[in-house]
Structure 1
Amino acid sequence: MRITVLGGCGAWPAAGQACSGYLVEYDGFRVLIDPGYATLPRLLESVAAEEVDAVLVSHGHPDHCSDLNPLLRARALGDAPPAALPVHAPPGALDAVLALDNPRMLASSHVLYELAPGAVVELGPFRVDTWALPHHVPNAGLRLTAGGRTLAYTGDTGPAAELAELARDADLLLAEATYPERVPDEDAPYLSSALDAGRTASRAGAGRLVLTHLWPGTRPEAALEAAAKEYTGDLMVASGGLTVSF
C-alpha cells in the first residue's frame, strides 16, 4: 500500500501548499481521500483525473472536499469521459460542493454513496471501516485495509474513545493535529493537537504517525516535538509530495 500526500494544511491552503488530500494506492487501484482546496493540481501531477477509481470524504468542510468539483469537471468534460466515479461521504456532506454546477452537467460523472457510521465499504482491493468521530459537522474516521496492511485516518476529530479502535495496530496513522499542544477551549471537543495524536498512536500501537491538518503558519518542528512527547515511533508531518509505502 502506498499513500501520497497532496496537501496537509488545515482551514485554507498556505502559499505553495494545499489542504487535506491523500492518494492511496494498492494493486493498481487508486482511492482519493479528502480532495480539499488546491489538491487537484497536485493530483494531476501524478495521475490523470480519469485514473482515480474512488473517492472517500471524511466530512463536508471545504478544506476537505472543495476540489471534488474540478475533479468531476475534468472527468465529465474531457475528450473521453470515464465511467461514473464512486464517491462516498457522510449524508449531506457534499451538498454544497455538488451545487456549484448545474446538476445535469455532472450527473454522469459520479455516483454518490452515503457513508454511514459503522459502515463497511468494499472499494476494489480495499476494505473500509468507518467510525463517527466528533467534529463541528458529521465526520467519518476511516480505516483502509488491503494486502494485510492498514491505513487509519481520523479526518478532523476531538477526543473520542473510538480513536483507539480506529488506529489499533495500524501500519500508518494519519492524524489531524491542528495545534501543536493545546486546542483552544471553544474547539477542544472538535479538534486535536499533535500531542493528542501522539498519545493516540502510542496507545494504539500504530507503526507510523503522520501529522496532518496543521493550522497555516504552524512550524512542523513544533508539531513533531509535541507528538514525540507521547509517541516514539516513526513520525512525520504531511506535506505535499510526501509518499510513504508500507
Structure 2
Amino acid sequence: MSLSFVTLGVGDAFSALRYSSCLALEAEGQVLLLDCPHPIRKMMREASLSSGVALDVDRVSGLILTHLHADHSSGVEGLGYFSFFVLKRKMQLLAHPDVTHRLWDGHLAAGMEDLIRKPGGEPQHHGFDDYFEPPLPLSTDAPVRFGPFSIESRMTYHHVPTTALRIRAGGRCLGYSADTAYDEGLIAWLAEADLVVHETNYGVHTPYEKLAALPAPLRAKMRLIHYPDDFDLEASNIEPLVQGRRYTV
C-alpha cells in the first residue's frame, strides 16, 4: 500500500483562517500523526468528511512531535487523556530526545500530573508513563522503524529543538521540513524525498522568495505548509497544501 497523508491543518500559530500545521500519514492501514495541535479530534473529524478518509484517535498508532511550540503540540494533553479515559490504552510518542527532554515537566505535567480518578476522591499523582508508552527516540544518525514507517531526522534552525523528517513507507519517501529558517543543507537533505512538504512564514522561518528561487524540478515536487493568512495562494509557484485534502506521496 502506498504512503499517503491527509492535511489536518496548514496554518501558522497566528492563523484566524486555518488549523495549525498537522498531517495524518497512512501506510498499510496504520495512521501516524505528524504533530498534534488542539483541537485534534475536531481537526480529524473535519478532515475525514472532506477527504473521505476515516480518522479518529482510535486509528492513530503513534504521534511524531517535531517540537514543543504550542501550535504543534497543544493537542497532546487531549490526545493522551482520550487514549487514557476512552480507549483505555497508552499513546505512543516518537520524537528526538532533545524534543522530549522537557515534554512532561515543561509542557504536560501542569495539566496531567494530578488526576481525580473517582468523584469525591483526592487527586492522585500521575506521570508520563501513566498516559503514554515510553517515547520512541528518533535519531539524526540512523533511521528508526515504527510499523511500516522508517523515520530519519535532522535538526533544524529554530527557537527550540526541532526536527525535520524523512519518512519512508510503501517504497516512497516524504520529506517534512518542520519549522525552520532557510537552510540549503536541509533543502538538499529533503530533496532526496519523492515529495517535500516545506514551511514558509515570517521571522525565524523560511521566506517564500527563497523557495520560489529553487530549481523547477525541486519546486515541482514541493508543497507548502505553515503559511500565514495573507499568503497569496494563487500567485505561488509552489503548490500550497489544502487543509482537509488527501495526498499520495
TM-score range, shorter chain: 0.7 to 0.9
Letter in 2 for 1:239: V
Pick the aligned partner of 2:198 from 175, 182, 189.
175
Give structure 2 stretches of 5+ with no counterpart: 49-53, 114-125
**Aligned pair count?**
224
User: Which of the two has higher C-alpha Rg?
Assistant: 2
Give the TM-score of the pair, scaled to structure 2: 0.79
Does the 8 Å contact 1:169/1:206 carry over to 2? no
1:31-78 alpha-carbon deviations (Å, 9 max, x no partner): 100112434311244322121011111111111111111111111110
Does the 8 Å contact 1:72/1:106 carry over to 2? no
1:175-229 alpha-carbon deviations (Å, 9 max, x no partner): 01115xxxxxxx3xx31022323445x388465221111123333234x1xxx2x
Does the 8 Å contact 1:73/1:106 carry over to 2? no
Q: 1:204–1:132: structure 2 CA closer, same or farther, 3 Å change rule?
A: farther
Pick the aligned partner of 2:112 from 89, 95, 102.
102
Pick the aligned partner of 1:208 from 204, 217, 221.
221
Q: 1:239–1:52: structure 2 CA closer, same or farther, 3 Å change rule?
A: same
Mapping of residues 184-223 of structure 1, within 5 Å: 187=203, 190-199=204-213, 202=215, 205=218, 208-222=221-235
Larger relative CO (CA 8 A, sep 6+): 1 or 2? Answer: 2
Give the TM-score of the pair, scaled to structure 1: 0.80
RMSD: 2.4
Worse-matched range after superposition: 154-163 or 3-12: 154-163
Q: 1:39–1:84: structure 2 CA closer, same or farther, 3 Å change rule?
A: closer
Does the 8 Å contact 1:177/1:212 carry over to 2? yes
DSSP 3-state at the match of 1:138? coil
Task: Give the C-alpha shift of residue 119 in structure 1.
Answer: 4.4
DSSP 3-state at the match of 1:69? helix
- The yes-or-no answer on 1:146 pairing with 2:169 is yes
Residue 164 of structure 1 aligns with which residue? Answer: 187
